[in-house]
Structure formats: structure tokens, C-alpha cells
Structure 1
Amino acid sequence: MTRKKFVVSALVSALAGGSQLAQATDVFRLEGFGAVSRGMGGTAVAHDVGPAGMMTNPATLSLMPDGDQAMIGLDLVTTDINVTNKATGESVSSDTHSNNRGPYVAPEAAYTKRLGGWSFGVGAFAQGGLGTEYGNGSFLSRATGGLATGLDNSSRLLVLNIPFAASFQVTEKLTIGGSVDAMWQGLNLDLLLGADQVGSLIGAGRATGSLVGALGGLPDLRGAHFSLTKDKFLASGVDAWGYGGKLGMIYRATPETILGASYTIKSQMNDMEGRATLTAIDGIAGQIAFGGKIQIKDFQMPSHVDLGISHRLTPQWTVAADVSRVFWKDVMKDIKVAFVADAGGDINILLPQDYKDQTILSLGAAYEVNDSLTVRGGLRFASQALSSSTLFAVIPATPRKHLSVGLTYAFSKQAKLDFAYSHAFKETMDNTSLPNTSAPIEVTHAQNNATINFRYSF
């Protein structure tokens, strides 16, 4: 009974305690799950990373020792994001301007059980997200003609994953696994579009509906602002539930070498829905606010294929490498917004994104200093998924090079503490193109991530 209470408490704490999102580092995805994987550059396809292995390759659960294991932990992410107006030289940094913005905290909790050839697991993890907060006084909050609006520009995306995983050791060499994942995602967004951006969307057929005519009928339209934000502990302006899943295998080619492969399906999320305010900014009439219902349609997490190898060089040294292909192109062509005003009228907007598929190489090594201490290090390199011509200041998901270190300290055979630190090197990207920016901008983004887990075997 005590064991069950501990497991339930850990999972509930993870779901309820995720006060803020993790700033994603592989676009909207974290660069590894659990401190063991994170300390080795995010590698997790072909070696034992503990209960967090269910998030990458469920078959690795069979690499864990017999018995039960519980894990609870968190990520702490601090970002360094700066946007510069290349025409005027003005700049603004993403900072803590509201109650639910950085530093960002993401939960991790899991429970696994191994019975002979079978292993089972359930967990609760932040799969990824995004977060920016530029406040309401920068050049991003000025409409066309330099009109100050006092309106926020910010974002907060959080994706939670709750996997139910199992693996089976078919032979001494081959193990297969899979998971069915419940998923939740929530989005806060404050976004100002200048009149030139609105006109560009209309001219390209990307803004339609009866409210388009209402905006065009204003005497001196300067811009339009969407606000779908809740300054709450976890709640978001719009959210949705859905599901996903994974299939995986590992093959022990030699006693020292393991090969692994996994496939994560494209998520099947419902449209995110909630309340929003559309504010028309006019140079003569002022600000005209329309309350209503909003949907962010068909916002999905991508499918991806992961291949990996691990090799024990000596009794102390283990090295690992993963290669991943993430199919962003299939899910991030446009951000689809549908708004219906309470007073009547609607507007549908397609914000172009045109992401490219991404290839990621992860490298890691671990050294067992003694029975109590293991140290780790890793590197991670990714191709750029975002296009400069469609970059939004509030969606700067650009980092693609990481360096990580980590360790595990065993207090006993049952209790272990894992820690990892990873640094995302500064990435710079420009955008001078309508409709996603009015002023020519340069965005720089770097960040630091600390991950800590406690694992207990019984």
C-alpha cells in the first residue's frame, strides 16, 4: 500500500507541479528526457537511461534491473533571448514580465516494473514547449506608424506526455517495446500584427472572414492584436488533449554492443480551444476590443525516427550515439487560427511557418568512477528547422548545438541522484519579410538547462 501511494503521489506531483513550461531546444522538443540521457547529449535509443527511456525507446526498459523503480525530478531552464530592430537599433530581451514566465520549470516522474521478460512503465513528462515574454513597452508593441499600444508580446507553449509503456525480451538478443501516450498541450499567446502585416495576410489569401471587412473599414487601421493568455500556475489560454505513441527495439549484437531503433508517431491532438480578445488598433478610433472564442487548429507534434548504438569500451567506459530524423515539415506549414467574436463576425488566419525536417546527431559518454559515482558528457548537433523568412519574435525556437555534462551519485543500491547540465549555444537568425514581422529583426537565442532526478529501486 505504501508503494502504491508513493507512485501515485509522484505522478500527481509531476502533473500539478509543472508551473511553467520548458523552453524547447530541438524546436518545440526537449533535447533528452531524464538526467542520464541529458548528460550524454540526449542519447537514449540503445542504452539504459532509467525510467525516462520510455519517452524515446520503450524497449530500453528491459535493460533495467529486475524489480520496481520510481523516479521524480525536474528541469530548470533559463533563456537568453534578444530581439533587435535592425532599422532603428532598438532591442528587447525576453524576461520575467508576467507571473508565468521564466525561469522555466518542467516536471518528470515515472514508475517501472520488471517481471521476467516483461517490463512495464507509466510516466508524466514535459515533452517540450516554448516561452517568451517581451512586455508591452518595446518596439514589438508599436503598431504601424510607431503608434505605442501598451499591448503585450509573449508566448507560452507546454506539451505534456503521459506514456503507458511495455517491453518484452523476445530472445537473449532481441527486445521489442511500445507505448500509448496521453498528451496535453496548452498555449498562451499575445501577438501584435502591424497594418502592413495584416494587409500582407489579406493579400495572400491568408486572412478571411467577415471581420476582415470590419478591420478594413476602420478610418486609420494601424494593426491588430490577439491575446489568448492566462497568468495562472498551469492553465493556458487554449488547450487540448490527444494521444501519441512509440514503437521500439534493441538488439544486443555483442555482449558489449547494443543497437536500437524507435519510431514515434505524429500526435493526434484535438484543436486547442479557449477565449481570446482581438483588438483592432486605429489611429483615430483608438483600440477596439472584440471578445470571442478562438481555436488553434491541427497543432501537432511531429513523427520521428531514432537510431542508436551504445558500446561498453571497458568495464568503466560506455559510449553512445543516436541519429534522429524529425518530420517537422508535415506538421508546421502554417499556424491556423480561427476566431469568432461574441458580437458576431469571424476571422480565419494562416500564419506561415514552413518548417523543414530536422536531422539530429547525439553523442555521449559515461565513466564509472567507482560504485557510487558515474560521470557523463555529451554533444548534440541539429539542422535548422525554422526558416528565416517566417521567423516570429515570439517563436524563436532556433538553438541547435548543445554541450552537456552530468553525474549519478548512488547513496545505496536502491537510491540514486542524477544531475545534468546542458548549454545551448547562441543561435542568430534574421527576418526581414512580411507577414511575420513588420520591422527587420535579428533574434539571438541561447539557454542553460539543469536537470535533476531521484530514482529509488525496490
Structure 2
Amino acid sequence: MRFKIFNKCIIGLVLYVISCYAVATEGLFLEGFGAISRGMGGTAASHYVGPASMMVNPATMGLSDTTGEVLLGFDLITTDISATNLGTGEKVSSSTHSHNRGPYVAPQIAFTSKVSNWTFGAGMFAQAGVGVEYGESSFLSRGDIGETGYAAGADTGLENASRLFILDIPLAASFKVNDDLSVGATLDAKWTGLNLDYLFGSKQLGSLIGDGRASGSLLGLVGTLPDPRGVHISVSKNKEVSSGVDGWGYSGRLGMAYKVTPKTNLGISYMFKSKMNDLKGNGTVTAVDGIVGNIPIEGQVRVLDFNSPAKLDVGVSHQFTDKFLVALDLSRVFWKDALKDIKVGFASDAGDVDLKLPQNAKDQTIVAIGASYAATQNLTLRAGYRQATQPFNDEGLLALIPAVLKRHATLGISYQVSKSGRFDAAYSRAFEHSMTNQSDFNTSSAVRSSIAQDNFVFGYTHSF
């Protein structure tokens, strides 16, 4: 049974990682970077969206009319998340009790500078960030008995919560080849932080053991507890940024912007799959037993190959009049290559366990359209819509985590407060989406998870 503890712990973290992929709006990417792009449905491949252009197509940095800009802003992410036990009808909604799980505030800081035909830039943006807080008294905190699932177990008083944050720090450059063509590239440092508190029932654990998805020296301790009810993993820090497990890595982008006609631009960019170091941190695994009680074990958790997928963006924009611009982006996110398996390890003085959990995610397609209208000399209005396919199967999600959002509607505004200063703001509504998980590997009872989001972006840009 000790094997169960660690095995399930590992499973917990692994599956949680999957859940993180699912929660962060369209996976591991926010639905647009910067208020200009966000207000136009996240489009940014073919038109200039301020210094945040470096987060999609760095070649478009050269489309700016200024010699340089500085952006200071932030994302405000709010979520409406719930989980429903389809066996009992019980429902729990995420709240904001603790662990800084929402609303989420994330930075948008960048600058660009032109030198002859070159434009250079650097920035710091939240690539993704979200989490849930289900507390300590819902059906998710109930240990189970054998095949009976959540309904038969006793309350454990153990927390179920999560938080994911990915920070992207790009160094960017673009070069104006001629009046029609610009090219660009970025080299990005990435930091990922993950918090997790999750209880896995014995039914889940039994399914994983039976399928041979775990290995390690702790496997010999199986069956040592008299009345196992589940395993709880806690890898969390109650800090604004610090996380239970974290790690650094890198990625990069290549981009091209081409003026097809005097009023029509074509843009193409490709972001490479990230190369992340293992996420590491200290954690506690607690075995829940109906007779012995809770048995905590301290150790180190590793999340291996936690990479952002490669992404291709193709866009076209057309300036219908001096005041009216329309943009269309088509994106392909290559999840299949990035998320075939989730690999997690747990090591302690008592031994170790490694888990390899297949996910078989599908590549994702995203279509976005946006428009902007210069209502006055100082005021610009924006609107947009984007829709994505679902890269994950229902069986690949945890009860703790909802589905990947598929539909966003957006609004935005810019106001020129001075000759060199501009205030930008945008709002995006992610419409509710639900998925149902009935896989024994990921849940002790069929659970439907639902999510909707209201996200805001505020920024001030100074031009020089």
C-alpha cells in the first residue's frame, strides 16, 4: 500500500499537470498578448499590436511608426470553475480561500527600439496562469473504498487546489529587408511554477497499478496498510509567485511580415516547442487509511518534460479605410508532439516511484478574427472572436480540472492621453465549456468539470 501512496501521489501530480494544460484558457497560452491583440480576438500575426508583438510575430515590430516604445501593464484573470459528481449529484465550485489562486494578476512589460532597419526589443509576459480552490470539505476530499468511488468514503479534511503560472521573457529583433518585407526572431527564457493539493481515491490507484503504469523501489510496499482509502499529494507554497515545483527553460520564434498590397499584410510565425528543465520541489504525500489514519511522507517531486507545444500562426490584415482595420489569424498548436505522455517521479528516504501516463493529445486549430475602428483622433475601439478545437480527450482530465476553453469574445479600447502616451484596455469572455471524465485512471467516480473566464488586460504605452 505504500506503493499505492507514492504511486498515486505521482499520478496526482502527473494528472494535475495535465489539468494545468487544460485550464489555462486555450491550453498553455492566453488568448492574446497585450490589450491591442486581446481586444481584436487575439489576432497579431500580420499587424502591429505594440511591444507585445514580440509574443506572436516579432517581424511585425518593424511596422511601428515610432522609434521606440515602452509598455507597462498587467493581465487580470478571473475564473468560474466547478466540478460535479455525476454519481451523487454533488457539486463544488472554485473559490479564493487561499494560496493566491485568484483572481490572478500577471505582468506585461516590454520595450522596443529602432536602429536603422533593425528593431530590438525585450519583455516579460505571463504566457499562462490559472488555478482552482475547492477547499477541504467537498466530495473531492473524500477517500473512497474499492469500486464504490467518492460516495462511500469518509471525509479526510485534505485540500484540493491547484495553481499554474508560466512566465515568458523574450529577447526580440526584427529586420526590414525592404519596403514590403520584414523578418524577425526571439529567444525566450521561460519559467514554470506549479502548486498542487489533490486527493486520489483507491479506485484510481488500483487501476493504475493493474495497468503497470508505475515502477520503482516503493512498489514492494504495496498492501502494507489495512484499510486504504486514497493518497493525497501536496506540493504548494502560499506565495505570490513561488510554487511547490518550478523550473526554467527556453524557446524561440521566427516570423515574417509581407505587404501584399499597400493596404494588405500577410504574417507568418512559428514558435518552437520549449525545452524545460524538470520542475522540482519538496512535497508531502499522505496515505489515507480507514484504520491507521493519515500517514504523511516527505520527499521530492519531479515533473519531467513539461514543455509548451510548438505553434504556427498565419494571419492577414486589411486596412479598409484609414480608420477601419480587420485581421484574421489561423493557428495550429502541435500538442501531439508535446504531450504524448506525462512523466512524474517521487523520491524519499523510503524509496522512489516513477510514473508514465499516456495522454495522446491531438493537435489544435484556432481561428481568430478582429477589427479596430478609430472613432476619433484619440479614441480607438476594438472587437473580436476566436474559436478553438479541443486537443484533449475526456479521459485525460482530472476531476480537479475543467476543460480547455474553446470560444472567446473580446472588446478593447485605446485612448491617446498625450502625444507620447496611450492607455489600452481589453476584456475577453471565455464562454463556459464542460467535459466529463469517466476514466478509472483519473477519477474514482464520473465527474463533469466546467469552466468559464472573464479576463482583463490594462496597459500604458509610452512612445519616443
The TM-score bracket by the shorter chain reads over 0.9
Say whether residues 1:385 and 2:391 are aligned partners.
yes
Partner of 1:77: 77
1:28 and 1:130 in contact (8 A); partners too: no
1:130 and 1:395 in contact (8 A); partners too: no
CA distance, structure 1, for counterparts of residue 403 and residue 117 of structure 2? 41
**AA of the residue aligned to 1:372:** N
Displacement of 1:295 after TM fit? 0.3
Say whether residues 1:122 and 2:122 are aligned partners.
yes
Say whether residues 1:316 and 2:346 are aligned partners.
no
Partner of 1:92: 92
Flag structure 2 segments of 5+ consecutive residues without an equivalent.
1-21, 146-152
1:215 and 1:280 in contact (8 A); partners too: no
Partner of 1:178: 185
1:28-107 → structure 2 map (5 Å cutoff): 28-107=28-107
1:366-445 → structure 2 map (5 Å cutoff): 366-445=372-451
CA distance, structure 1, for counterparts of residue 78 and residue 174 of structure 2? 35
**AA of the residue aligned to 1:65:** D
Partner of 2:297: 290
Partner of 2:284: 277
Partner of 1:451: 457
Q: TM-score, normalised by structure 2?
A: 0.92
**AA of the residue aligned to 1:213:** G
Classify the secondary structure of the residue corresponding to 1:434. coil
Classify the secondary structure of the residue corresponding to 1:349. strand
**AA of the residue aligned to 2:70:** A
Alignment equivalent of 1:169, drawn from 171, 176, 187: 176
1:27 and 1:397 in contact (8 A); partners too: no
Deviations 1:294-337 (A, max 9, x none): 10111000001100000000111000000000011212223221
Classify the secondary structure of the residue corresponding to 1:132. strand
CA distance, structure 1, for counterparts of residue 222 and residue 154 of structure 2? 17
Displacement of 1:352 after TM fit? 4.0
CA distance, structure 2, for counterparts of residue 362 and residue 80 of structure 1? 23
Displacement of 1:391 after TM fit? 1.3
1:44 and 1:53 in contact (8 A); partners too: yes
**AA of the residue aligned to 2:305:** D
Displacement of 1:397 after TM fit? 4.2
Displacement of 1:116 after TM fit? 2.3
1:178 and 1:247 in contact (8 A); partners too: yes
**AA of the residue aligned to 2:85:** N
CA distance, structure 2, for counterparts of residue 59 and residue 395 of structure 1? 36
Displacement of 1:192 after TM fit? 1.2
Classify the secondary structure of the residue corresponding to 1:201. helix
CA distance, structure 1, for counterparts of residue 358 and residue 197 of structure 2? 17
CA distance, structure 2, for counterparts of residue 192 and residue 439 of structure 1? 13
Displacement of 1:273 after TM fit? 0.5
Partner of 2:162: 155
CA distance, structure 2, for counterparts of residue 107 and residue 214 of structure 1? 46
Classify the secondary structure of the residue corresponding to 1:437. coil
CA distance, structure 1, for counterparts of residue 444 and residue 399 of structure 2? 11
**AA of the residue aligned to 2:414:** T
Displacement of 1:216 after TM fit? 2.5
Q: Which runs of 4+ in 1 moved over 3 A?
A: none
Displacement of 1:409 after TM fit? 0.3
Aligned residues: 437
| Greater mean deviation of Cα atoms: 347-356 or 106-115 | 347-356
| Greater mean deviation of Cα atoms: 100-109 or 329-338 | 329-338
Partner of 1:365: 371
CA distance, structure 1, for counterparts of residue 128 and residue 210 of structure 2? 34
Deviations 1:56-84 (A, max 9, x none): 00001001123121001111111111100
Classify the secondary structure of the residue corresponding to 2:62. helix
Displacement of 1:210 after TM fit? 2.3
Displacement of 1:419 after TM fit? 0.5
Displacement of 1:237 after TM fit? 0.4
Displacement of 1:23 after TM fit? 6.2
| Greater mean deviation of Cα atoms: 116-125 or 94-103 | 94-103
CA distance, structure 2, for counterparts of residue 152 and residue 409 of structure 1? 45
Alignment equivalent of 2:209, drawn from 202, 218, 223: 202
Displacement of 1:104 after TM fit? 1.2
Displacement of 1:348 after TM fit? 1.4
1:428 and 1:445 in contact (8 A); partners too: yes
Deviations 1:64-121 (A, max 9, x none): 1231210011111111111000110100011112131111111100011012211000
Classify the secondary structure of the residue corresponding to 1:200. helix
Displacement of 1:202 after TM fit? 1.1
1:23 and 1:128 in contact (8 A); partners too: no
Alignment equivalent of 1:235, drawn from 226, 242, 246: 242
Partner of 1:14: none
| Greater mean deviation of Cα atoms: 185-194 or 36-45 | 185-194
Classify the secondary structure of the residue corresponding to 1:180. strand
Displacement of 1:368 after TM fit? 0.5
Identity %: 53
**AA of the residue aligned to 2:204:** Q
Alignment equivalent of 1:333, drawn from 332, 337, 340: 340
CA distance, structure 2, for counterparts of residue 351 and residue 142 of structure 1? 24
2:188 and 2:250 in contact (8 A); partners too: yes
Displacement of 1:396 after TM fit? 2.1
**AA of the residue aligned to 1:344:** A
Q: Which has the higher contact order (CA 8 A, sep 6+)?
A: 2
Partner of 2:9: none
| Greater mean deviation of Cα atoms: 43-52 or 438-447 | 438-447
Displacement of 1:133 after TM fit? 1.1
Partner of 2:4: none
Flag structure 1 segments of 5+ consecutive residues without an equivalent.
1-21
Deviations 1:235-287 (A, max 9, x none): 00011011000000000011100000000000010000110111111111111
Displacement of 1:129 after TM fit? 3.0
1:23 and 1:77 in contact (8 A); partners too: no
Kindly tell me: are residues 153 and 86 of structure 1, through their superposed partners in 2, closer, same or farther at Cα, counting changes over 3 Å?
A: same
Displacement of 1:220 after TM fit? 1.4
